[in-house]
Structure 1
Amino acid sequence: MTAGHNARLRNARKEFDNNSTPVQRWSFFAAISLGLLMIGLDNSILFTALPTLTEELHAGDTQQLWIINAYPLVLAGLLLGTGTLGDKIGHRRMFTTGLVIFGVASLAAAFSPTPAFLIAARALLGLGAAVMMPATLALIRLTFTNEQERNTAIGIWGSVAVVGAAAGPVVGGALLEVWWWGSVFLINVPVVVIALIATALLAPPNMANPIKHWDLVSSIFALVTLTGLTLTIKELANPNRSWILIAVAFVAFIIGGHLFVQRQNKLDEPLLTFEVFRNRLFAGGVIAASGAMFIMAGLEMITAQKLQLADDFSPFHAGLVVAAAAVAALPMSALGGANLHRIGFLPLISGGFLLATIGTGLAMWSTHADSVPLLITGLLFLGAGAGSIMSVSSIAIIGSVPMHRSGMAAGVEEVSYEFGTLLSVAFVGSLTPALYLTNLPAELKHMGIVALHGGLGHAQASTAYASAYGTTVGFMAVFAFILTIVTVWCFRDNPKSGGNGGAH
């Protein structure tokens, strides 16, 4: 039965390879990119919308963080499981299922009556994204058999992810200029419809492998582990921290991680085989992807918040400034994947982190110089660096494992990006307010963030927030430089392909 089923899978793929045209392949790739664009947008679209949304829904500080974090937390926690589930039921089916869930959740989020309802809707959005996202990369590998064509597609795929995350603040700001806060979610619905129609007309046949085992329990353990880690980081950065909550969260992180590892060792087909991390190319790709998103997402979020809260920018104008990162990321990401075979991983990834170091350094300097042009220059450097890194980190991860592990590799690749975003929002989103409260004059401390909303203390509060912003960005600049050194070691022999080339 196994041999016969594998033969049918090979024949289905061979038939698609022989009959598909470049127009069909790239048109289907456009549909995949639409789904990925939505996932990226929803990671960052609230960066500019959050102040308005908070005011209208009367969300507290903790609710604000969970409105932001519920989405990437569920997404990152479930990605490993959904990646391998795609191997079992077929990645095309996973993609369309994820689109439907995402569309329904977007409608629920757009019309949320309370913060708690919105947090639940954001979690459902995370579920839809987790179902859809690994399928996008796995489908690219199944659709493009030529390595150079596939690398170009993955490079563009990476640029779509970067642009989605970078464009979120400006899209959110533009929508708030003309509509209510729910529009930042409602915009997903027509995109879902277009992607569903395109997939039905253009996608390769669904290639399921029903004999492949899938383990729900492992996904639950992974979600518990990430939730515990996120809560631990958030609460440690909270000036009014609860040591009981920290202890409970940390114990959940340790126990969840231990149970996950133990279960993988007992499964014939684990969600994650840890020996893949012995491959320096695979490990380097994971470090690069998560590190790039940590820096990119964190700087975007606190910059959008700082421009609105401390510098009195409108959501739209704050989004335009932050969008400078997307302007630089798009060409660098597309060019990186297309030219990897000439340039190699080392200059693209380590050089990208060096550009990110310069960019975050300039952003920190812009606070002291009170210069928006300097900030924009820093964002351009950051975007160029992040685009260069993400154009090929996915290739390092996907290309360094054999074909039968493509679903697992896609899940790890997506977890890397989302884990970087999740940790960044948890760390930066908690550290900056804590530093702000430390910098506030004693007579304003009781007001907290409210002091930024106007009144006699606004100028002092703005100065305190700008100082907190500069310190946080300084930490990120140091982190970017450390990653430059680490990735130099990972890619020291400068390989120019993923190794397996997708042929195994």
Structure 2
Amino acid sequence: MSTTRETSSTLNTSKTSNIPTAPTAPTATPTPDPRRWSALAVLVLAVTLVVVDATVLVLAIPSITETLAPSATGLLWIGDIYSFVLAGLLVSMGALSDRVGRKRLLLIGASAFGAASLLAAYAPSPGWLIAARALLGVAGATIMPSTLSLIRALFPDSRERARAIGIWGAAATAGAAAGPLVGGVLLEHFWWGSVFLLNLPLVALLLVLGGWLLPESRNPEPGRFDLPSVGYSMTGVIAVVYAVKEAAAHGPAHWEVPVTAAVGAFCLWRFVRRQLRLDAPLLDVRLFADRRFTAAVLGALIAVFGLGGVVFFTSQYLQLVREYSPLRAGLAELPAFAGAAVTSVLTARIARRAGTRGALVGGMAALGLALGVLGWLRQDTPYLLLAAVFLAVGAAEGLVYTLSADLVLTAAPPQKAGAASAVSETAYELGTALGIALFGSVLTAVYPRTLGHPAGVGADAVDAARQSLGAAVETAHALPGPAGQALAAAARGAFVHGMGLAALCAAVLVLLGAGLAWRLLRVR
């Protein structure tokens, strides 16, 4: 890297060497697809469908708690099973798309997504809903890698591709931010399952337009699809996330924690070792020798890791602590949507002006500071301050995610576009899952210990309130005036305390990640 204003090959001109070489014949530039911008709209619809589903459920958590009565741990699984199954399969599905065809796998995944949405909408129990969300994660993993790799096939020109990736990133980050708003509108008029039925018309539109507008592309020499690698990667991710959740819930000395952590570490180690030996690996781990590639993946992972757990509980804070309606809570989070949309589209321009290093590290630092402000949140914090924090979080997330996706995609050869794009999306989804698992578990561990025993409240009511904030509010409504008010106030105070602690932990982690990215991208 020759300057501190380095950018990816998509965002700046190519480097030249001082070593003289023999003249070569000019290579023909591929003819752009005349329908590429229409096809991009279809890919934007596909990525929006997947990312909205990751966050649309957050405003429905209070309704699900009241209807299905899940335990605190079950509530966490409902929240994060989608993201971490998605993360565990993205690399495998990205490699599969390179082999069977990216368009074909995207359309198969869209069909499966619609079927799983029906199962989730009418789930009669927490276990059913968790299983349906897991199936949605499997289907989503077949869609996501194809969207980004098809962009590379559709846009051979680097400047057009940068603009297309910016639009794609805006859809991904703004769609995630818009999920709560969409959920709020639906929950204002319908039951919680309606947030899944929304997927059905979008899936139908995606199947029709995708079959018509999207080109087919695949790796002409894909090699063998290695099933043991799929098993190692999926088992490793699931085991590590489960160990994190159990350590927070029962303590690191609980027997399941070291066992599952060891299994996860072993499987991930075996996965890496196997990729180094295969002629056609699912994930070319040698790509991590590129410092910019590594910085991009770690930047996306750490940023979303810090954000995922905190944002998951923000909607509960707005509804159960500040007593907003679902629609009002969704509107309150709208600044995050606006910030993500704007910076995603402007990522290429920001990177040209500030350089990749400055843009990536600056975005992560801004995110860390914004999360730190959330750590000081109180029950009566003015909304204007909250809106400013949401705006900063959305803007920083849009910049980091879009820039990371561009860096990762352009570091890999075109024939491995599916597997390479899966790396960026794996970092995003795995970060979300780990964030919910770790910081959600921090809140789950702190909340019952901080709740205490309010005066005038019976032991049975306190035990019920310790399950979750939703259970506490419901229990408080069933108690006589003063006792119910005391229990509700104590529960809200305990929740805000736990959420603030989780946000501060997230802020420290993201700021440390910014320092690591700065070091990886330093001038040599």
TM-score, with structure 1 as normaliser: 0.90
Query: What's the counterpart of residue 432 of structure 1?
Result: 443
Structure 2 residue 508 is the aligned partner of structure 1 residue 488: no
Alignment partners' CA distance in 2, 1:208 and 1:296: 35
Gaps of 5+ in 1: 1-13, 495-504
Alignment partners' CA distance in 1, 2:201 and 2:65: 26
Q: Shift of the alpha carbon at 1:94?
A: 1.2
Structure 2 residue 88 is the aligned partner of structure 1 residue 77: yes
Q: Shift of the alpha carbon at 1:411?
A: 1.5
Instruction: Say if 2:371 and 2:507, in contact at 8 Å, map to a contact too.
Output: yes
Alignment partners' CA distance in 1, 2:407 and 2:269: 27
Alignment partners' CA distance in 1, 2:316 and 2:148: 32
Corresponding residue SS for 1:344: helix
Q: Report the AA paired with residue 391 of structure 1.
A: T
Alignment partners' CA distance in 2, 1:241 and 1:484: 28
Query: What's the counterpart of residue 87 of structure 1?
Result: 98
Comparing 269-278 and 337-346, the one that deviates more: 337-346
Decide whether aligned partners of structure 1 residues 369 and 459 sit closer, same or farther in structure 2, where only a CA change above 3 A counts: closer
Matches within 5 A, 1:175-194: 175-194=186-205
Alignment partners' CA distance in 1, 2:520 and 2:123: 46
Query: What's the counterpart of residue 301 of structure 2?
Result: 290
Instruction: Say if 1:45 and 1:168, in contact at 8 Å, map to a contact too.
Output: yes
Q: Shift of the alpha carbon at 1:71?
A: 1.1
Structure 2 residue 485 is the aligned partner of structure 1 residue 452: no
Comparing 422-431 and 362-371, the one that deviates more: 362-371
Structure 2 residue 349 is the aligned partner of structure 1 residue 328: no
Query: What's the counterpart of residue 5 of structure 2?
Result: none
Matches within 5 A, 1:73-472: 73-207=84-218, 209=220, 212-239=223-250, 243-367=254-378, 370-443=381-454, 446=463, 447-448=465-466, 449=468, 450-453=471-474, 454=476, 455-456=484-485, 457-472=487-502
Cα deviation, 1:267-314, whole Å, max 9, x if unaligned, reads: 211112222111101001101111222233223212112222222222
Q: Shift of the alpha carbon at 1:199?
A: 1.3
Comparing 31-40 and 235-244, the one that deviates more: 235-244
Structure 2 residue 87 is the aligned partner of structure 1 residue 57: no
Q: Report the AA paired with residue 20 of structure 1.
A: D
Alignment partners' CA distance in 2, 1:106 and 1:289: 28
Instruction: Say if 2:98 and 2:222, in contact at 8 Å, map to a contact too.
Output: no
Q: Report the AA paired with residue 64 of structure 2.
A: L
Decide whether aligned partners of structure 1 residues 175 and 100 sit closer, same or farther in structure 2, where only a CA change above 3 A counts: same
Instruction: Say if 2:56 and 2:182, in contact at 8 Å, map to a contact too.
Output: yes
Q: Report the AA paired with residue 334 of structure 1.
A: V
Alignment partners' CA distance in 2, 1:484 and 1:211: 36
Decide whether aligned partners of structure 1 residues 157 and 211 sit closer, same or farther in structure 2, where only a CA change above 3 A counts: closer
Corresponding residue SS for 2:378: helix
Corresponding residue SS for 1:367: coil
Two-structure CA RMSD over aligned residues (Å): 2.1
Cα deviation, 1:216-258, whole Å, max 9, x if unaligned, reads: 2211111111111111111111157771221331122122123
Q: Report the AA paired with residue 418 of structure 1.
A: E
State how many pairs are aligned: 478
Instruction: Say if 1:289 and 1:417, in contact at 8 Å, map to a contact too.
Output: yes
TM-score, with structure 2 as normaliser: 0.87
Instruction: Say if 1:235 and 1:242, in contact at 8 Å, map to a contact too.
Output: no
Q: Report the AA paired with residue 119 of structure 1.
A: I
Q: Report the AA paired with residue 221 of structure 1.
A: Y
Instruction: Say if 1:166 and 1:300, in contact at 8 Å, map to a contact too.
Output: no
Q: Shift of the alpha carbon at 1:338?
A: 4.8
Whichever structure has more helix as a proportion of its residues is 1
Instruction: Say if 1:307 and 1:318, in contact at 8 Å, map to a contact too.
Output: yes
Comparing 325-334 and 366-375, the one that deviates more: 366-375
Q: Shift of the alpha carbon at 1:358?
A: 2.5
Alignment partners' CA distance in 1, 2:352 and 2:159: 8
**Higher relative contact order structure (alpha carbons within 8 Å, sequence separation ≥ 6):** 2
Query: What's the counterpart of residue 31 of structure 2?
Result: 18
Instruction: Say if 1:93 and 1:206, in contact at 8 Å, map to a contact too.
Output: no
Gaps of 5+ in 2: 1-27, 477-483
Q: Report the AA paired with residue 302 of structure 2.
A: G
Alignment partners' CA distance in 2, 1:110 and 1:376: 31
Instruction: Say if 2:347 and 2:402, in contact at 8 Å, map to a contact too.
Output: yes
Corresponding residue SS for 2:255: helix
Alignment partners' CA distance in 1, 2:448 and 2:324: 21
Q: Shift of the alpha carbon at 1:493?
A: 4.0
Cα deviation, 1:386-408, whole Å, max 9, x if unaligned, reads: 11111211111111122233222
Larger Rg: 2
Instruction: Say if 1:159 and 1:390, in contact at 8 Å, map to a contact too.
Output: no
